[in-house]
Amino acid sequence: MADLILVIDEGTTSTRAMLFRPDGTCLATRAAQLTQHYPEPGRVEHDAAEIWDKTLSVTRAVIDEAGGAEKIAAIGITNQRETVVFWDRETGEPLAPAIVWQDRRTAATCRALKKAGHESVVQAKTGLLLDPYFSGSKIGWAMAHWPAVKAAGARLAVGTVESWLVWKLTGGLHITDATNASRTALMAIGSGQWDDGLIDLFAVPRAALPEIVDCAGQFGTTTLFGSPIPICGIAGDQQAATIGQSCLAVGETKATFGTGAFVLSQAGPTPPTSRHRLLSTIVWQLGGRRSYALEGSVFVAGSLIKWLRDEVGLIGTAAETEALARSVPDNGGVYLVPALSGLGAPWWEPDARGAISGLSFSTGKAHIVRAALEAMAHQAHDLKTAFAADGVDWASVRIDGGMVANDWMAQDMADILDVSVERPKFAETTALGAAMLAGIGCGLFSDLAEASVMRGAVETFEPMMPPETREARLAGWKVAVESAIA
């Protein structure tokens, strides 16, 4: 009997295929780097054809390693959220570049809509704010500025990355799951359906949008790898990580440090309302019933380390950062505000730009690198303060993502947040969450509680920093952020 679960984890900088047993053991993984295109300042694009080609390649490699498609019970898909793909229904080929979630080209549009008084309605319907981060304004921009997209008419299909992958895998099924749909600013999160008023606000062609479905179920079949394999689980990456961290009870919180950093706190069956610039989002939909989370989104996390390596040349590898941070007793008064694509929650300042302050002749490379790592805990503390003000303080935090392999950073997070920080031994919880959903969809598990067996062992970091040191760090950070915004 086929009992292996194949996960496609399509992220911002890479696409991966991973093979899981139902007990959570990862048997194989293959990854391919994706090219990020920066045509102008503030603009970030992907080639959707490259996403598909590389996804197909790594998926085929993992299926071969499994011994063939007949060994695979189901496919789960998780993806970078908010990134939008435009393609031709007849040819199945992209019509334009994919606009990435980090892209800020619609900042002026969002400011104008905010000035016209639309943000309160958008927040009430979607749980989101008016920001270029979300997909709706990106789609409207493409319709206005890319002739090939507008001219496609009835042939136009628009979707986030999981929609694109499902279309290509199945040969024409056009769906999106509720978690990804909740990030477009086009769906009313209370009803779980596209909203005509929001579609009109952003000038989006409704006919081009996919059907909204659950996160687990039978969503079509791919025959590209020989024997048919059903697609049974779909969720945006941050929701998948929340599931992979088994944040099933109200108040349980996870923080993912990947390209960006995203904190979600389980809120239960009622959409939470934030008065402190946080987001309300769907964390999963099963059997037509939705569960919600309060979310704080930080735009720059691991991408800051990549920038220090690839653009600035300050480090040779990301792994060097831990030793460099440990090589100096403190940050030497240096603060790095990583607003390379604006500031996300709780600031929501799309025009803010990155800044390094406190430099002197005594500043060395290690101080700057340490300040970059410290910025992760500082940004998380800003979010913790906002969550607490909304009545959802964190008793502990479950961390994951590529950055948290750094023990120094994990301990710094516990110290600055002043709570226990829990790190799973298997840190790829985004893929794990997609596997759990696919397991439910194909009948290997009855529900998320049963699927949680896949999570495995964890290790804990406890706060050890003296209160006066913590307070001094946070005071310096507050000045640095306010300066960057000004």
Task: Please choose, from the candidates 275, 285, 236, the residue with its C-alpha nearest in 3D space to the C-alpha of residue 256.
Answer: 236
CB 350 within 8 A of CB 107: yes
Cα-based distances in Å from 467 to 18, 101, 185, 298, 321: 42, 37, 40, 25, 25
Residue with tokens 């109200």: 250
Bridge partners of 78, per DSSP, are 9, 235
pLDDT of the residue at 155: 95
Query: What pLDDT is attached to residue 42?
Result: 84
pLDDT in tens, 195-246: 999 999 999 999 999 999 999 999 999 999 989 999 999 999 999 999 999 9
Model pLDDT, residue 1? 60
Give me the pLDDT at residue 457, please: 84
Low-confidence ranges of the chain (pLDDT < 70): 1
- 138, 143, 155, 417 from 150: Cα distances, Å: 13, 5, 10, 48
Q: Which of 237, 400, 368 is nearest to 304 (CA)?
A: 368
The structure's pTM equals 0.85
Mapping DSSP onto H, E and C, the string for 136-170 reads: HHHHHHHHHHCHHHHHCHHHEEEEEHHHHHHHHHH
Please, which residues bridge with residue 16 across strands?
9, 31
CA-based radius of gyration for the chain: 21
pLDDT at 369: 94
pLDDT value of residue 349: 82
**Cα–Cα distance for residue pair 22/446, rounded to 1 Å:** 12
The domains located in the chain, with CATH, are 4-237 (3.30.420.40)
Tell how many helices (H) and how many strands (E) occur in the chain.
16, 23
Compute the residue count for the chain.
Answer: 486
The contacts of residue 319 (CB under 8 Å, 6+ apart) are none
Query: What is the pairing mode between strands 211-213 and 175-177?
Result: parallel
The dihedral built from the CA positions of residue 253, 256, 257 and 261, taken in this order, carries a sign that is negative
Give strand ranges (E) for 210-286: 211-213, 221-222, 229-236, 253-257, 261-268, 279-286
Q: Is 279 helix (H, G, I), strand (E, B) or coil?
A: strand
Say if CB 307 and CB 273 are below 8 A apart: no
- pLDDT at residue 88, rounded to an integer: 96
The pLDDT of residue 428 is: 84
pLDDT at residue 442, rounded to an integer: 93
